[in-house]
Amino acid sequence: MDFTLNEDQLALASAIERIATEFATVPTDFHGFTLDGAALEQELESGQYFDIAAIPEMGPVAAATVVERLARLPCTTEVALSMLVRPQIDIELPRPFALVENGRPGRFVASAATVIVIYGESIGIAHPSPDEVEAVESLYAYPMGKLTGSPAIKPLSSSDAETVRTWLRIACAAEMAGLLQAAIDAAVEHLSVRKQFGRPLGTFQALRHRMAECAVLAGGVRLLALKAAWSGDSGEAALAALHAQDSATRVVYDVHQMMGAMGMTLEMPVHLWTYRAKALLAELGGKGAQAEGVAKHTFNAA
């Protein structure tokens, strides 16, 4: 496994970093739950960044690094499914993408052109019309929506469904890696400036140890996501998603505790990442389903 970037991938990383810098700041007048990323989406669309996984010189690993980097931004737009899952189905499918599991509301559903529909073990593809979806109010820092009509669903074969499930897990892990790192960065900044007993909170060893443990967990999520994107292996994808969802529970708890009461207000932007991480905790069946996937694909469990 070699994560060394080639010249094309290095150029891509630089371009994405320039774009990310433009959208790295939370507007001073924003105090809501979801920071819209329409301008970011337009920038990515015009640069054809959503197709990078299908470019031989780039590939899924490059796409996963882009997903992780963009997930660190305070604004949100549909990136992970379009960059990592869409190329595995049909790169010509219209985006934005969304995921609906067992009829529950999902992220970006209200604006999706293509919806991956999961019912139990079956997976299908739908293209709902605007009158078949509606937005749903939510505390999650994503625009949430649900299917209200009955769009035609094209079922996938069992092998194609397994492929889609694998890449949904990789997309989840890559996005979670960015969210956790951004939340940790926000907490570190707070601990660096907030003082107690005449000194910054970040100088207290107990707090530094806990933040270091969070950083290790987030780093592990990122590496497992990249490894799964590199191999495309179902077992590694399930392991990456399991570690992502398991780590998020600990990191989100610690980050909010490090910020004290301020971490529970909209004055602090940390919820723009932690509440998105909470939404991802329940996707794809949660930790239990990922653990079953690890057992099935890694240990050949019946």
Q: At what angle do helices 158-193 and 205-231 cross, to 10 degrees?
A: 160
CA distances from 246 to 177, 182, 286 (A): 12, 17, 9
Domain-wise residue ranges, the chain: 160-298
CA 110 to chain centre: 18
The predicted-structure confidence for 143-195, as pLDDT tens digits, reads as follows 999 999 889 999 999 999 999 999 999 999 999 999 999 999 998 887 766 65
> What is the predicted pLDDT for the residue at 193?
65
Query: Residue 141: what are its φ and ψ, rounded to 5°?
Result: -85, 35
CA quadruple 64, 70, 74, 77: dihedral sign: negative
The predicted-structure confidence for 38-66, as pLDDT tens digits, reads as follows 999 999 999 999 999 999 889 999 999 99
pLDDT-derived band at 207 (thresholds 50, 70, 90) equals confident
60-77 in b/e burial notation, b at 16+ Cβ within 10 A?
Answer: bbbbbbbbbbbbbbbbbb
> What is the predicted pLDDT for the residue at 3?
65
Looking at residue 272, the DSSP 8-state letter turns out to be H
The answer to whether 186 and 269 have CB atoms below 8 angstroms apart is yes
CA 121 to CA 119: how far, in whole Å? 6
Q: Which amino acid is at 178?
A: G
Over residues 210-223, the mean pLDDT reads: 93
> To which CATH superfamily is domain 160-298 assigned?
Butyryl-CoA Dehydrogenase, subunit A, domain 3 (1.20.140.10)
Peptide bond into 96 cis (omega under 30): yes
Tokens of 36: 């819209």
* Dihedral class, residue 154 (left if φ above 0, else alpha if ψ from -120 to 50, else beta): beta
The predicted-structure confidence for 16-40, as pLDDT tens digits, reads as follows 999 999 999 988 888 888 899 999 9
> What is the predicted pLDDT for the residue at 196?
67
Expressed in angstroms, the distance from the first to the final Cα of the chain is: 29
Q: Indicate whether 132 pLDDT > 90.
A: yes
The predicted-structure confidence for 84-104, as pLDDT tens digits, reads as follows 999 999 999 999 999 999 999
The predicted-structure confidence for 2-15, as pLDDT tens digits, reads as follows 667 778 888 999 99
